[in-house]
């Protein structure tokens, strides 16, 4: 199950530096964590999760395999991208293929790094990209809505429901608001995704600050955090420069470097986790002497569908899921202790898998 987070931003905001740091970090972890560069601008990174180390230690697992998130370094944007300016068409097509957007915003002053708009203003930069996405969506919907309206008036129930959803999106877009703010029923979620609207993607704002502000941000990043709160979007602070320096250091030296700059962990860890949470993803684990492994599912996934992430046969022949909460597995020193302590549960087809569950699936072959 692959999830893609597209990194977008204006030129000279630190977008590619951040992406390069992400991929360098993953490459440096290759001895323990699977990593691949699918294309020059696509990289898969491990989602940091200290629970895996605990599970592997208890079970004596020979290998640790974390879950992963794909980041895509999308071509830079200029005004007019929605009309094909610059690499606009490529930019918009690449975003459409992603599940979420990591919007890198420049929140630092540097006379040696020219800003395409002439000065640093993160909220203006956000508006520039947001406007291009909304203009592209507006054009797309207006081309489709008339034909669909005819079907809806002809009594096509599915067309009527979709037309109503499109109309609500159009109202927002014409007011200058992104489609992700549209109010939908749970059963409309798939239909909204099917519309392929760029501004409907969930957004993570990544505030790229100067080195001195890496731990707490600055006045510019505070403006972005305030906007993110209004939109119910996610927001993190990083210094892309620091992250690129950390990424190439040997593991033994990274801790000292982080302490020297006042960071408890690399900022990239926060970016990765925030991207994971933004997509409403959770993790369950399988543990044994061979490997301790994390698996990605969407929050609200039932046990048989969670099993299908490992192999489709697991879902087809699903019987039960032996389930231990991570806290119980750790406190009772593994499966045997959890079983003896009455903390191992047998869950059926309707069980909603919880984040941190340690699962063993029973199934018919």
Shared domain check, 260 and 325: no
- Could you tell me which residue, 36 or 200, shows the higher pLDDT? 200
> Are residues 178 and 265 both part of a single domain?
yes
* 182 token code pair: 């549209």
pLDDT tens, residue by residue, 301-340: 999 999 999 999 999 999 999 999 999 999 999 999 999 9
In a domain, 355, yes or no: yes
CATH number, domain of 144, equals 3.40.50.300
Q: Is the pLDDT of residue 219 over 70?
A: yes
- Residues 350, 315 share a domain: yes
Q: Are 35 and 44 in contact (CB under 8 A)?
A: yes
If asked whether residues 144 and 246 sit together in one domain, one would say: yes
- In angstroms, how far is CA 158 from the centroid of its own chain? 31
Asked whether residue 189 falls in the same domain as residue 69, the answer is yes
Helix or strand run (H / E) with residue 38: strand 37-39
Q: Tell the burial category of 222 from Cβ atoms under 10 Å away from its Cβ (0-12, 13-18, 19+).
A: middle
pLDDT at 112: 65
Question: Do both 222 and 334 map to the same domain?
Answer: no
- One domain for residues 100 and 194: yes
CB contact set of 343 (below 8 Å; sequence gap of 6+): 324, 325, 328, 332
Per the domain annotation, does 189 fall within a domain?
A: yes
- Other CB atoms within 10 Å distance of the CB of residue 319: 13
Could you tell me which residues are annotated as the binding site for ATP?
A: 12-17
Mark whether 98 and 130 lie in a shared domain.
yes
Return the pLDDT at 28.
Answer: 40
In our burial notation (b when 16+ CB lie closer than 10 A, e otherwise), range 250-267 reads: eeeebeeebeeeebeebb
Nearest to 123 by CA among 205, 201, 8: 205
- Give the separation between CA 188 and CA 177, rounded to whole angstroms: 19
Which residue range forms the structural domain that includes residue 355?
Answer: 300-363
Considering the domain architecture, whether residues 10 and 50 belong to the same structural domain is answered as: yes
Q: In this structure, is residue 178 part of a structural domain?
A: yes
Per residue in 125-151, pLDDT tens? 999 889 988 998 998 899 888 888 888
For the chain, what percent of residues have pLDDT higher than 90? 51
Tokens encoding 198: 């760029």
Q: Are residues 203 and 323 in the same domain?
A: no
List Cα–Cα distances, 79 to 60, 91, 141, 224, 235, in angstroms.
Answer: 55, 12, 21, 20, 24
In the chain, pLDDT over 70 holds for what percent of residues? 88
User: What DSSP line would sit under 95-131, residue for residue?
Assistant: HHT-SEEEEEEE----TTS--TTSS--HHHHHHHHHH
CATH no. for residue 321?
3.10.20.30
Query: How far is the first Cα of the chain from the last one, in angstroms, to the nearest whole number?
Result: 22
Annotated binding site: 12-17
pLDDT at 310 (0 to 100)? 95
pLDDT of residue 19: 84
- Is 293 a member of any domain? no
Mean pLDDT of the chain: 86
pLDDT at 22 over 50: yes
Does residue 99 sit in the same domain as residue 134?
yes
How many CB atoms lie under 10 A from the CB of residue 184?
Answer: 13
Is 295 domain-assigned? no
**96 vs 313: CA distance, rounded Å:** 31
Q: What is the DSSP letter of 244?
A: H
Higher pLDDT, 279 or 324: 324
Tens digit of each residue's pLDDT (9 = 90 or more) over 280-290: 899 999 999 99
Domain tally for the chain? 2
Q: Is residue 30 predicted with pLDDT exceeding 50?
A: no
| Dist CA 348 CA 279 (whole Å) | 26
**One domain, residues 189 and 44:** yes
């Amino acid at each position: 199950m692959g999830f893609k987070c597209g990194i977008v931003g204006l030129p000279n905001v630190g977008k590619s530096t951040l992406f390069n740091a992400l991929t360098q970090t993953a490459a440096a972890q290759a001895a323990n964590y699977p990593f691949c560069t699918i294309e020059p601008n696509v990289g898969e990174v491990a989602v940091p999760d200290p629970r895996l180390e605990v599970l592997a230690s208890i079970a004596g697992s020979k290998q640790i395999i974390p879950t992963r998130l794909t980041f895509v370094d999308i071509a830079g944007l200029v005004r007019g991208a929605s009309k094909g300016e610059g690499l606009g068409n490529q930019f918009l097509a690449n975003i459409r293929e992603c599940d979420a957007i990591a919007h890198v915003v420049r929140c630092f002053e540097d006379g040696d790094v020219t800003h395409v708009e002439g000065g640093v203003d993160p909220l203006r930069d956000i508006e520039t990209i947001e406007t291009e996405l909304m203009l592209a969506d507006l054009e797309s919907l207006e081309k489709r809505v008339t034909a669909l309206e005819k079907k809806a008036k002809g009594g096509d129930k599915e067309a009527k429901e979709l037309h109503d959803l499109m109309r609500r999106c159009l109202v927002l877009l014409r007011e200058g608001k992104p489609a992700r703010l549209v109010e939908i029923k749970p059963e409309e979620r798939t239909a909204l995704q099917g519309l392929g609207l760029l501004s409907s993607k969930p957004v993570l704002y990544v505030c790229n600050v100067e080195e001195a502000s890496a731990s707490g941000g600055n006045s510019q990043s505070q403006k972005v955090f305030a906007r993110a709160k209004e939109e119910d979007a996610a927001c993190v602070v990083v210094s892309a420069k620091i992250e690129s320096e950390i990424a190439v250091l040997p593991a033994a030296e990274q801790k000292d470097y982080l302490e020297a700059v006042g960071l408890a962990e690399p900022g990239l860890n926060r970016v990765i986790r925030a991207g994971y949470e933004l997509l409403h993803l959770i993790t369950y684990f399988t543990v044994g002497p061979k490997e301790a492994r994390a698996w990605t599912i969407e929050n609200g996934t039932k046990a048989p569908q969670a099993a299908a992430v490992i192999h489709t046969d697991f879902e087809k022949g699903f019987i039960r899921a032996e389930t231990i909460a991570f806290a119980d597995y750790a406190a009772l020193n593994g499966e045997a202790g959890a079983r003896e302590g009455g903390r191992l549960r047998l869950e059926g087809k309707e069980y909603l898998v919880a984040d941190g569950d340690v699962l063993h699936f029973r199934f018919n072959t």
